[in-house]
């Protein structure tokens, strides 16, 4: 079926959600009327959508990020190469560097290359907010030349 026909049928029958069945008779997913509307008119935000995580630059080389902020975006913005094969988020990297999940009362600081991660908030065993600072790596200068 095409999207318009499915939307019309769901609307006429007051159906808010449908289970999608694949060609083998198995469940392929869940479809809502909102999914169809977004396919027709484009994506829109409502009160149930999570706001996309932002990185806020608070000073040059200093950012506030959510623990769930994607590691690949952090690498692009800071210009620091980060090996992200093991984890997807900034919190995942920090937990790996600490080799544990920090306690709620802790405010650990860890270093990864030119980046320093200051854990600012922890809730329910999750790192919620982190300040990331980029320090320029000093290079050895040969004064004899």
Residue 90 pLDDT? 94
24 within some domain: yes
Beta-strand pair 126-134/55-59: unpaired
Q: Domain containing 27: what range?
A: 3-41
Instruction: Please state the domain count of the chain.
Output: 2
Residue 71's alpha-carbon distances to 65, 90, 96, 109, 145, in angstroms, are 11, 5, 13, 17, 40
Structural domain includes residue 140: no
Residue 49: predicted pLDDT? 53
pTM: predicted TM-score of the whole model, two decimal places: 0.59
73 and 102 part of one domain: yes
* Confidence label for 35 from pLDDT (cuts 50, 70 and 90): confident
24-45 mean pLDDT: 82
Residues 100 and 62 in one domain: yes
Q: Is the same domain home to 81 and 29?
A: no
- % of residues, the chain, pLDDT over 90: 47
Residue 120 lies in a domain: yes
In a domain, 123, yes or no: yes
pLDDT of 123 above 80: yes
User: Looking at the domain assignment, is residue 145 inside a domain?
Assistant: no
Q: Is the pLDDT of residue 138 over 90?
A: no
Residues 60, 129 share a domain: yes
Residue 48 located in a structural domain? no
Query: Residue 21: is its pLDDT beyond 60?
Result: yes
What value does the mean pLDDT take over residues 7-24?
90
């Amino acid at each position: 079926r095409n999207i318009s026909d499915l939307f019309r049928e769901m609307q006429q029958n007051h159906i808010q959600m449908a289970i999608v069945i694949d060609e083998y008779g198995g469940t392929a997913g869940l479809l809502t009327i909102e999914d169809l509307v977004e396919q027709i008119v484009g994506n829109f935000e409502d009160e149930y959508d999570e706001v996309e995580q932002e990185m806020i630059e608070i000073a040059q080389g200093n950012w506030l990020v959510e623990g769930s902020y994607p590691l690949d975006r952090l690498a692009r913005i800071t210009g620091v190469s980060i090996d992200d094969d093991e984890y997807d988020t900034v919190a995942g990297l920090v937990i790996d560097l600490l080799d544990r999940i920090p306690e709620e009362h802790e405010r650990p600081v860890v270093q990864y290359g030119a980046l320093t991660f200051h854990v600012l908030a922890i809730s329910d065993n999750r790192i919620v907010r982190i300040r990331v600072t980029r320090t320029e790596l000093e290079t050895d200068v040969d004064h004899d030349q």
